[in-house]
Chain A
Amino acid sequence: MSIEKKQNAIIEEFSVFDDWMDKYAYLVDLGNELAPLSPEEKTDDNLIDGCQSKLWIIAELQNGKMHFKTDSDAIITKGIASLLIRAIEGETPKDVMNSKLSFIDEIGLYQHLSPTRSNGLLAMTKRIKAYAIAFNAKA
């Protein structure tokens, strides 16, 4: 499935919520479902220190496709991070590089990517792009 299709699927998934609480309860579920990183994986290199919450991201390139792992000490941050990852998991560096990741806006979570939020998610999207650019240059 292309990044765009995966984004559309997420938007579809979130369209059933008309209550903020339900939407956030779902994000909490997503956060809880995501396997935590091991202490060894939570290195300073993988850390995005967001002042309020910590966020880790690991990106790898295997057979030309990008694979991600992420974790956060805050569950909502982790839930949103897991959505970001879902949209780009298994895609080529080029596709990740060119992805818009606009679905976060469309499911009403844009404020979590605002520069004032200090949860590390904005920095995470930038780092994902940086990884993609680096992997693409190597390829």
Chain B
Amino acid sequence: MNIQNIRKDFPILDQKIYEKPLIYLDNAATTQKPVQVIEAMDDLYYRLNSNIHRGVHYLSEESTSAHENARKYIADFIHAKHTHEVIFTRGTTEAVNLVAFSFGEKYIQEDDEILITEMEHHSNFVPWQMLAERKSAKFKVLRFEEDGSLSLEKFKSAISEKTKIISITHVSNVLGTINPIKEMIRIAHEAGVPVFVDAAQSIQHLPVDVQDLDCDFLAFSGHKIYGPTGIGVLYGKEKYLDEMPPYQGGGEMISSVSIDKTSFNELPFKFEAGTPNYVAAIGLHAALKYLENIGLQDVMQYEHDLFVYATQQLLEIEGLKMIGTAQKKTSVLSFVMDGIHPYDMGTMLDKTGIAVRTGTHCAEPIMQHYGISGTIRASVALYNTKAEIDRLIENLKKIQLILS
């Protein structure tokens, strides 16, 4: 893996911010896009743009086939059994909302239990909480351990006969913890409970094989895996997707409409009301191909080494405390510094050309767990380098002197 060549694929990285070379370490929020993705989308608009499905003309056939090829490629990427188990959404958030609504309509009744964890992003928290309120069901939240890991024993005992759905993040967007989801899914299935996996922070860093995991649902966002915004993926097992009612009504999702009755289209279209964001789907296809061309294993190894290096370097800073110290972590480095407000540090790092995120990262229950107002979060991607980490460390120390 030639990192300098890879960096050339990301034109945005080659610029100065406040006269300093940009160091982009906000990858857990969104990743930058390689030219291959930008060009694929440009090309579509330049040559092929046309609304997909049911068009009888050349352009529509071409864009339809590009869109459906994207779906096929994504299905293979996550090892789905069927291509129609891949539903396009706006992102992970919409995917969670879709399942919380449609699964909830079909399977959740009063006094049933919905189980999630304390380390979920608000997107995998609030929709389930809303479902629980709508159905007068019980909303149960599994606490995490001090190091930011989940206890399998506690998980097991949190499942009851009334538990109807469990939703867990694969990787925490704040703590970086890699949860043992395969084991958790096995435990849940022993109790007969389906599991939704939020893969927004894992799909770009870890192998994801939905058949091997045996998850019932899984979702991720295109923009966090070098693809465009506005596109996400919901994987669902056919048996559930078939049974669940549609989420939104409109075009594409119907098979026939009359004043008396509307019948719905088959999978995956049943869940894709309105004109799909086919341009972004094609961009996502290009992003996944880009990753596979570099070699997923190589990317993961490189990121892992960088992550370990960054962790070691950060821990050498006096007064710095890592938030989330689980054994298995990836990509996300959250920390606090004695006597320094994260906002102040983020603001000053910005002036040195370094982009990090500060605050609660849409996961306020995690902040409440540790009794903190926020963290400073650096998150790495395949184009980051050790030299960039060194500059982060150097500037953290420099600003620490000014702020304390």
Contact = CB atoms under 8 A, between A and B. Distances in A.
Interface in B346-402: 347-348, 351-352, 358-360, 373-374, 398, 402
B58 interface: no
Interface string B1-29: 00000000000000000100000000000
A21 B395 CA distance: 11
B351 A76 contact: no
Contacts of A54: 373
A52 B403 contact: no
Nearest to A77: B343
Given A24-B351, A28-B403, A118-B359, A74 B18 contact: no
Interface string A20-47: 1100110010000000000000000000
Interface in B182-211: none
Contacts of B403: 28, 75
B122 interface: no
A52 B345 CA distance: 12
Interface in A47-61: 51-54
Contact of B402 (A21, A77, A118): A21
A74 B344 contact: yes
What bracket does the count of chain B residues touching chain A fall in? 10 to 19
A73 interface: yes
Interface in A83-139: 112, 118-119
Given A24-B402, A52-B374, A76 B344 contact: yes
Contacts of A21: 348, 351-352, 398, 402
Contacts, number: 43
A119 B402 contact: no
A42 B18 CA distance: 36
A33 to B, nearest CB: 15
Nearest to A24: B348
- Quick one: which of B347, B351, B358, B360 has the most chain A CB within 10 A? B347
Given A21-B351, A76-B347, A119-B343, A52 B359 contact: yes
A112 B343 CA distance: 11
A76 B348 contact: yes
Contacts of B344: 28, 74-77
A24 B347 contact: yes
A76 B345 CA distance: 9
A55 to B, nearest CB: 11
B272 to A, nearest CB: 31
B341 interface: yes
B363 to A, nearest CB: 13
Nearest to A32: B403
Q: Which of B341, B342, B351, B360 has the most CB of A within 10 A?
A: B341
Given A75-B403, A118-B359, A53 B341 contact: yes
Given A20-B18, A28-B402, A74 B359 contact: no
Nearest to A53: B343
Contacts of B341: 53, 73-75
A25 B403 CA distance: 8
A73 B373 contact: yes
A119 B347 CA distance: 11
Contacts of A76: 343-344, 347-348
A66 B390 CA distance: 49
Contacts of A24: 347-348, 351, 402
B357 to A, nearest CB: 10
B229 to A, nearest CB: 16
A24 B398 CA distance: 12
Contacts of A119: 343
A139 to B, nearest CB: 37
Contacts of A25: 402
Contacts of A112: 347
Contacts of B358: 52
A97 B344 CA distance: 30
Contacts of A75: 341, 344, 403
A90 to B, nearest CB: 29
Interface string B292-319: 0000000000000000000000000000
A52 B374 CA distance: 7
A75 to B, nearest CB: 5
Contacts of B348: 21, 24, 76
Contacts of A52: 342-343, 358-359, 374
Given A21-B352, A24-B402, A28-B403, 15 more contacts: A20-B18, A21-B398, A24-B347, A24-B348, A24-B351, A52-B342, A52-B343, A52-B358, A73-B373, A74-B341, A74-B343, A75-B344, A76-B344, A76-B348, A119-B343
The 5 closest A-B pairs by CB, nearest first: A20-B351, A74-B341, A74-B343, A53-B343, A52-B343
22 contacts: A20-B18, A20-B351, A20-B352, A21-B351, A21-B352, A21-B402, A24-B348, A24-B402, A28-B344, A28-B403, A51-B359, A51-B360, A52-B374, A53-B341, A53-B343, A54-B373, A74-B341, A74-B343, A74-B344, A75-B341, A76-B348, A77-B344
